[in-house]
């Protein structure tokens, strides 16, 4: 199986210049816990989670209406290619300790692959591996 077969297509980004308030509202409206951060050039800049907003911003006294989402983007974004295998996605999630991966085709964001997407489609004979994967 390939990432594109299990991903949730049509991922939405939060703009790097959008406020954390706008990001929180988008997370709420989409009922998701993470959004890719996209730059003005439509390139991925990172990812933003609801936890990032609370722990890295609010708890540190940052003003959510004036702090930009891009301020919380750290390092090079961790992604998976649309045609990469699910095994590669699992390795990437384990290595980087993330539960969601933006899926790219070339440089275009085409979806998101979450741990839950894999769990729903994981072969029964590999449940032990999945449990280990989830328990990192």
How many domains, the chain? 1
| 90-109 tens-digit pLDDT | 999 989 888 889 999 988 89
Residue 54 makes CB contacts below 8 A (sequence gap 6+) with: none
Q: Output DSSP code: residue 11.
A: -
Whether residue 76 is predicted with pLDDT greater than 70 in this model: the reply is yes
Query: Residue for token digits 């790097």?
Result: 16
What pLDDT score does 126 carry?
A: 66
CATH number at residue 61: 3.10.580.10
Gap between the Cα atoms of 95 and 110, Å rounded: 22
List the domain range (segments joined by +) for residue 80.
3-134
Whether residue 27 is predicted with pLDDT greater than 90 in this model: the reply is yes
74 pLDDT band, cuts 50/70/90, is confident
Mean pLDDT across the chain: 88
Read off the pLDDT of each residue in 3-28 and give the average, rounded to a whole number: 94
What pLDDT score does 2 carry?
A: 95
Helix-helix angle 127-134:86-96, to 10 degrees? 30
Read off the pLDDT of each residue in 57-84 and give the average, rounded to a whole number: 93
């Amino acid at each position: 199986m390939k990432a594109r077969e299990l991903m949730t297509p049509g991922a939405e980004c939060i703009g790097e210049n959008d406020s954390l308030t706008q990001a929180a509202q988008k997370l709420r409206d989409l009922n998701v816990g993470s959004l890719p951060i996209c730059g003005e050039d439509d390139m991925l800049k990172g990812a933003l989670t609801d936890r990032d907003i609370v722990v890295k911003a609010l708890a540190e006294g940052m003003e959510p209406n004036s702090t930009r989402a891009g301020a919380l983007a750290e390092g090079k974004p961790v992604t998976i290619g649309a045609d990469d295998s699910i095994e590669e996605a699992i390795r990437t999630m384990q290595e980087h300790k993330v539960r969601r991966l933006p899926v790219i085709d070339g440089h275009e964001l085409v979806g998101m692959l979450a741990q839950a997407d894999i769990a729903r489609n994981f072969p029964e004979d590999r449940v032990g591996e999945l449990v280990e994967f989830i328990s990192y």
